[in-house]
Chain A
Amino acid sequence: MRLAFKTVVPSADQPVSWSMRKHHAHLSDEALVALVARGDDSALAELYDRVGRVAYGLAFRVLRDDRLAEDAVQDAFLAVWRTAAAFRAERAKASTWILTLVHRRAVDVVRREERRRTEPLDEATRDAATSESAEDAAWLGFERQRVQGALRQLPDTQREAIELAYYGGYSQSELAERLGLPLGTIKSRMFAGLARLRELLDDGAEEGSWTPNSTN
């Protein structure tokens, strides 16, 4: 399975210095983290340009609020800046690491603010302003479809547990209460569902092996 982020061509709303681009565009996400560890803020900017939209989309999906979502992304990137020197690329992909930090922030805020007023399963984010480059949109679109296809193959109960937890920010205990099920059932569903999803995604990755940015 591969989730490395493609280089995003700068769009009109994100002016980027071309000299910086030339310098960093060919580098892997992990190489960028190594530069960030050395205090290179243009490498941080490049990482943000690659991962920022997905990170913000994720934070917004959980938080449903522009400002809170931006804060979550900002906090996560500050953590990236600060801890990059300790990051070991051989143990984790940089993009996964960043998205983990973003998700953790978002879930923490959503629990604190009790903001979940909207049913997280509806797709209310269709109006998202998408000004991705065509190439980037194509790759993300492909990946998104692949993951959504895998999700659809899960039993409904497992998919529900995973989506409410990851996109809704519900804890297992909250889910047990909400769905009127024993906590043990929720735990088992989440574990079985995630294990099955991993299998489906791995299979898909091997067959398709469409990896636009094979950086490691």
Chain B
Amino acid sequence: MDAELHELSAGYALDALEPEERDAFERHLAECPQCQEELASFWEVAGALAVATESRAPSPELRDRIIADAQAEKQTVVSLDSRRRISPVLAAVTTVAAAAAIGLGIYSISLSNDLDSTRSALTAQENAAALLADPNATSVALQSGTGRLVVDGEGEAVLVLNDLPAAPAGKTYQAWIVDGQVPVSAGTFASTDDQAVVPIPQAVPDGAVVAVTIEESGGASSPSLPPIAASNPV
């Protein structure tokens, strides 16, 4: 059975698997270093196949549209679906791409330290990567700090922080959902390479703010002010 799964790495790299096999291979990928290595190199071959096609000049407007997408996300709150045709299958496709990207370590998501089960950690990472790339999700700018908060229609959210040095020795970063009087902890996390991509474990309600503080290792039950980063209201 493993040999059969292993052989799927080629079909996976060429996007030629049916959904069930794609899922089966991704589950296998997470636990098989050999397939991880194989898929990484097969993706390079697929990249070579891409280069072998005739390159082609798209309309100049495509460049403008791509830059407009990016710039729109810098605004306070922009609902993408108000501006773009959204393909309903995109979110599902993104999940697939995210799963492999996580499996190969192409994506690095900072998980809350509370999450220790490998399986749920993997799922949380995949969901976070998928949410980030979901064109239906909304990007909310930060009122302080560098980065953004990406939220979907159900309030599922991922906080992306840039220029965030590692927390001082003995300290940790902690995220909070601030909605009303009492901030609720959304878990502690670390920063690697001056960046943190943090899945928020609970739904973020409309109008709430996600904030980040520095706390003693292990986290606190209420935030130490002031926050080092905070989003605009969702």
Which A positions have Cβ atoms within 8 angstroms of B?
1, 3, 13-14, 37-39, 41, 44-45, 48-49, 52-58, 60-61, 66, 69-71, 73-75, 77-79, 81-83, 85-88, 91-93, 95-97, 99-105, 107-109, 112, 123, 125-126, 128-132, 140, 143-144, 147-148, 150-151, 162, 165-167, 169-173, 175, 187-188, 190-191, 193-195, 197-198, 201
B47 and A37: CB pair below 8 A? no
Interface string of B1-39 (1 = CB under 8 A from A): 000100111110111111001000000000000000000
B182 in contact (CB, < 8 A)? no
B44 and A104: CB pair below 8 A? no
B57 and A131: CB pair below 8 A? yes
A130 and B56: CB pair below 8 A? yes
* In the bound complex, CA of A61 to CA of B46 (Å): 14
Which of A86, A92, A166, A201 is B109 in contact with, Cβ under 8 Å?
A86
B47 and A93: CB pair below 8 A? yes
Which of A91, A102, A144 is B105 in contact with, Cβ under 8 Å?
A91
By the criterion of a CB under 8 Å from any partner CB, how many residues of chain B are at the interface?
A: 77
Write out the residue numbers on chain B whose beta carbons fall within 8 Å of the beta carbon of A78: 66, 69-70, 133, 135
Write out the residue numbers on chain B whose beta carbons fall within 8 Å of the beta carbon of A73: 58, 62, 66
When C-beta atoms are compared, the residue in chain B nearest to A129 turns out to be B57
Q: A78-B135, A195-B10 are in contact. Are A91 and B104 (CB under 8 A)?
A: yes
Which of A44, A147, A165, A191 is B48 in contact with, Cβ under 8 Å?
A147
Which B positions have Cβ atoms within 8 angstroms of A?
4, 7-11, 13-18, 21, 40-60, 62-63, 65-67, 69-71, 73-74, 85, 87, 89-90, 93-94, 96-98, 101, 104-109, 128-129, 132-135, 137, 139, 146-148, 150, 160, 162-163, 195, 197
CB distance from A119 to the nearest CB of B (A): 15
CB distance from A171 to the nearest CB of B (A): 5
Write out the residue numbers on chain B whose beta carbons fall within 8 Å of the beta carbon of A82: 73, 132-134, 137, 139, 150
Write out the residue numbers on chain A whose beta carbons fall within 8 Å of the beta carbon of B134: 82
* In the bound complex, CA of A81 to CA of B80 (Å): 13
Q: A92-B43, A104-B93, A194-B42 are in contact. Are A130 and B54 (CB under 8 A)?
A: yes
Write out the residue numbers on chain A whose beta carbons fall within 8 Å of the beta carbon of B197: 85-86
A130 and B57: CB pair below 8 A? yes
22 A–B contacts, CB within 8 A, in A order: A1-B44, A3-B48, A13-B60, A37-B160, A38-B163, A53-B57, A78-B135, A82-B139, A85-B160, A85-B195, A85-B197, A86-B109, A97-B106, A99-B46, A100-B43, A102-B50, A143-B51, A148-B52, A165-B14, A165-B16, A190-B14, A201-B45
7 residue pairs, one from A and one from B, having the closest CB atoms? A147-B52, A165-B16, A79-B133, A53-B55, A57-B56, A191-B10, A96-B47
When C-beta atoms are compared, the residue in chain A nearest to B105 turns out to be A91
* In the bound complex, CA of A206 to CA of B9 (Å): 25
